[in-house]
């Protein structure tokens, strides 16, 4: 599988979480939507023969939680998840028995690729301000054009000397079918 510091190849999302991210983006349009991707903590690390112990991999995204994140000055092309929003997101995740495993946001009338403001930036004091996600966590971007979803893409922010976003394949996991919900042929009743 992946070695520490390298990007995984795909991001698995429950269909429910995927639809929730897209719905938030559609409801927030023409402003940028943003929020956290939630999963289980034990999915974050794995130890397997041939892989270095403690390598980071994204767990399956089980849910998504919108954040207020409104940038009052540039809400059409920017968002800001403040400290209070982060505390609320982490508390909500904890209530649900999960942790934040990544983030999402939308690009109204723009492509589903990281923008310049999504990238980490080094300030004059040589401190790094991370853009749309944390290193070692996936980022999902929803592209909207005139209020319609045109693309959903995922990226991985790598750590190290050359921090960059690497693309991930988004894999939607359909909801399980309950045995009682299987399709059965309708019975026909003969009229006498």
* Three-state secondary structure readout of 138-191: EEEEEEEECCEEEEEEEEEECCCCCCCEEEEEEEEECCCCCHHHCCCCCCCCCC
Per-position pLDDT tens, the chain of length 192: 344 456 678 899 999 999 999 999 999 898 888 899 999 876 544 333 333 333 344 578 999 999 876 555 555 555 667 778 888 889 999 999 999 999 999 999 889 988 877 776 554 544 444 556 777 789 999 999 998 999 999 998 876 666 678 899 999 998 777 666 555 555 445 555
With H, G, I as helix, E, B as strand and everything else as coil, classify residue 61.
Answer: strand
Cβ–Cβ under 8 Å, residues 82 and 33: no
DSSP secondary structure code for residue 124 in this structure: T
Can you read off the two tokens belonging to residue 114?
Answer: 């990281």
This prediction has a pTM of 0.75
Q: Could you give all domains of the chain from N- to C-terminal order, each with its CATH number?
A: 10-175 (3.40.140.10)
């Amino acid at each position: 599988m992946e070695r520490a510091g390298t990007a995984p190849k795909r991001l698995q999302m429950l269909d429910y979480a995927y639809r929730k991210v897209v719905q938030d983006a559609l409801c927030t349009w023409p402003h940028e939507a943003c929020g956290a991707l939630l999963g289980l903590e034990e999915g974050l690390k794995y130890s397997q023969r041939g892989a270095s112990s403690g390598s980071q991999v994204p767990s399956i995204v089980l849910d998504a939680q919108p954040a207020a994140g409104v940038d009052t000055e540039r809400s059409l092309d920017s968002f800001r998840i403040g400290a209070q929003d982060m505390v609320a997101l982490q508390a909500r995740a904890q209530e649900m028995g999960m942790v934040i495993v990544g983030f999402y946001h939308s690009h109204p009338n723009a492509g589903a690729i990281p923008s310049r403001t999504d990238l980490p930036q080094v300030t004059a004091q040589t401190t790094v301000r991370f853009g749309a996600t944390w290193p070692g966590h996936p980022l999902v971007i929803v592209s909207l054009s005139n209020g319609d979803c045109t693309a959903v893409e995922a990226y991985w922010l790598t750590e190290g000397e050359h921090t960059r976003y690497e693309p991930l394949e988004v894999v939607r996991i359909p909801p399980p079918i309950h045995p009682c919900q299987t399709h059965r042929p309708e019975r026909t009743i003969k009229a006498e």
